[in-house]
Amino acid sequence: MNSNIETLQKSKTLQEFEKSEKLEKLIEGRGAIRKIGVIGMGYVGIPAAALLADVPHFEKVYGFQRNSQTSGYKIEMLNSGECPLKGEEPGLQELIERVVNEGKFECTADFSKISECDAVAIAIQTPFEDPKDLVPDFRALIEGIRQAGRYLTPATLVVLESTVTPGTTEGMAKDILEEESGLVAGEDFALAHAPERVMVGRLIKNIQEHDRIVGGIDDASTRRATELYSPVLTKGKIIPMSATAAEVTKTAENTFRDLQIAAVNQLALYCEAMGINVYDVRAGVDSLKGEGITRAILWPGAGVGGHCLTKDTYHLERGLLVVGQEKRDEVSNNEERRHEPLDFPEGRESLYVLARHINDFMPEHMLNLTINGLKRAGKKPEGAKVAILGWAFINNSDDARNTPSEVYRDLCLKAGMEVAVHDPHVLHYPGVSVSQDISEVVNGADCVVIFAGHKDYYQLDAGEMKARCGGVHPVIVDGRNVVDPDEYIREGFVYEGIGRGDKNGHVIVDV
Ligand code: SAJ
């Protein structure tokens, strides 16, 4: 114990040490976590609450959900043991049924029950109003934090699961909780960030098997959050760190994926310009294996959509601004500690933001390939009929959040083209009619453009497509390397493909 106290005294001021001690004592007095609250019954909160409720030594989990127009229906659905999430989620429906029937999970709009909870997790989404100005829309999250603060009791643990700008847990979240409760974070209650890492379609598996980053504002908070999350892990292990490091980890893991995609998208553009096949190069690069060697080359494509990669880079960049400035302010009046502002190549923009721009350019590149193909077929963009195959942002999914297809469609309309959209999974999308009948969409098209790698599209027959298009030399633009270029060229198509410098510009075959 002595070395612990010594470490604490060394690394913390006495006042912080005393705060921590008080919190430890309060937590000890409260005993093991028994009652838990999860605020936000979405695709993160629902599986989290159900898995926590399934832990034998956790007595009860409340799922807190505002009784709003758009989501209030979930309360009754969940309490009748039904999962409100669309799409296949292996194991989730049975789990919800079981924990509801056992009386271990209850969904409610009565936030005052937070006062019964030993731990409260907040899983509310944090989109950007407009990525250009890095301003995240935290309104729903702030409301959730406020509710937690209103009914917070001493020794309770509050955990943010939402993806937030680095600095939010120690900053805005802590301030709101303290203001609403009159309690002090790190002294009267524990506070941590434990970012979700779930993927639609494998929510349960991801929560159980991914390692769990757990970042407390102090060691006592980290330990309490570890007590909350350890029991739901099967293969995953807890990775403890500070709250801000946890926020940076979450935003960085998506930033790095976006960066990897941008790297191979840029390579695809280079290969087109050099007349070679990027997929040959990709296979070549990927072949370099062995201990300590990783290339992790991903797949070039028509663009990057979705809820994570399109915004988490901007969360990270904003975090640098917010936390970096706070660090400078904190240290500036403490001479012996130095904290330099960011040291970075003069006048260069962030590599991560440049990656975002390259990925956001890909739908524009798809338009350029389209216009080039039409030109080679002797057609102008104005009045040309374009059939977009794939509206979802990801293969074989109905998820169309921030879909690159929409950027491309708007560019086509601006260029005077007529656009029809097909997707086998996306049944509705605001302001866009999405057909599930491919014949109807391709019928009479001057150009067919593949935006998603849905498995249906790999079965398309070039001869049938030619007959449906009807023209002499229809164009096909392949954004996901779905079709065999030679099959379509033989049928008289003008082929253009992302990264296919070896085929773009081919001799047009008269059939
Ligand atoms: N994409 C490419 N090339 C690739 C991979 C993806 O162009 O090689 C495009 C996709 O078409 C899509 C977008 O990027 O438009 C995003 O695809 P994604 O596979 O990254 O799917 P997301 O956005 O749902 O990312 C999620 C993230 N998971 C969490 O936030 C918990 C991400 O961290 C995961 O790495 C990713 O799933 C995954 O690996 O499945």
Tokens 């690159």 correspond to 404
Residue 129's pLDDT is 74
**109 plus 127 within the same structural domain:** yes
Residue where a domain stops, chosen among 236, 255, 276: 236
The answer as to whether 2 is a domain residue is: no
The answer as to whether 5 is a domain residue is: no
Into how many domains does the chain fold? 2
SS3 assignment, position 130: strand
**274 plus 347 within the same structural domain:** yes
Residue 16's pLDDT is 82
Looking at the CA of residue 197, tell me the nearest atom of ligand 1.
Answer: 31
**187 plus 286 within the same structural domain:** no
Average pLDDT of the chain is: 94
What pLDDT band is residue 338 in, cutting at 50, 70 and 90? Answer: low
pLDDT higher at 129 or 171: 171
The pair of structure tokens assigned to 466 is: 């030619």
The answer as to whether 150 is a domain residue is: yes
**146 plus 58 within the same structural domain:** yes
Residue where a domain stops, chosen among 216, 236, 256: 236
**335 plus 188 within the same structural domain:** no
User: What separation in Å is there between the alpha carbon of 359 and the centre of ligand 1?
Assistant: 12
Domain that residue 151 falls in: 11-236
Q: Give dist(CA 509, CA 257) in Å, integer.
A: 40
Q: 460 near 449, Cβ under 8 Å?
A: no
What pLDDT band is residue 135 in, cutting at 50, 70 and 90? Answer: confident
The answer as to whether 185 is a domain residue is: yes
User: What separation in Å is there between the alpha carbon of 208 and the centre of ligand 1?
Assistant: 20
CATH number at residue 44: 3.40.50.720
What pLDDT band is residue 472 in, cutting at 50, 70 and 90? Answer: very high
User: What separation in Å is there between the alpha carbon of 309 and the centre of ligand 1?
Assistant: 7
- pTM of structure: 0.92
Q: What is the side-by-side order of every strand in the sheet holding 475-478?
A: 434-435, 418-422, 385-389, 447-450, 475-478, 494-497
pLDDT higher at 238 or 134: 238
Mean pLDDT of 256-281: 98
In the chain, what percentage of residues exceed pLDDT 70?
95
User: What separation in Å is there between the alpha carbon of 378 and the centre of ligand 1?
Assistant: 37
* 2 has pLDDT over 90: no
Residue where a domain stops, chosen among 210, 236, 262: 236
What pLDDT band is residue 87 in, cutting at 50, 70 and 90? Answer: confident
**224 plus 343 within the same structural domain:** no
Residue 10's pLDDT is 64
Looking at the CA of residue 306, tell me the nearest atom of ligand 1.
Answer: 23
User: What separation in Å is there between the alpha carbon of 394 and the centre of ligand 1?
Assistant: 8
User: CB under 6 Å to ligand 1: residues?
Assistant: 197-199, 253-254, 257, 261, 298-299, 301, 304-306, 308-309, 393-394
Query: Of 40-49, 134-143, 249-258, 357-366, which range is least confident?
Result: 134-143
**409 plus 391 within the same structural domain:** yes
Mean pLDDT of 60-68: 96
Looking at the CA of residue 198, tell me the nearest atom of ligand 1.
Answer: 31
**318 plus 411 within the same structural domain:** yes
Helix (H) or strand (E) holding 388: strand 385-389
Instruction: Give me the numbers of helices (H) and strands (E) for the chain, helices first please.
Output: 17, 16
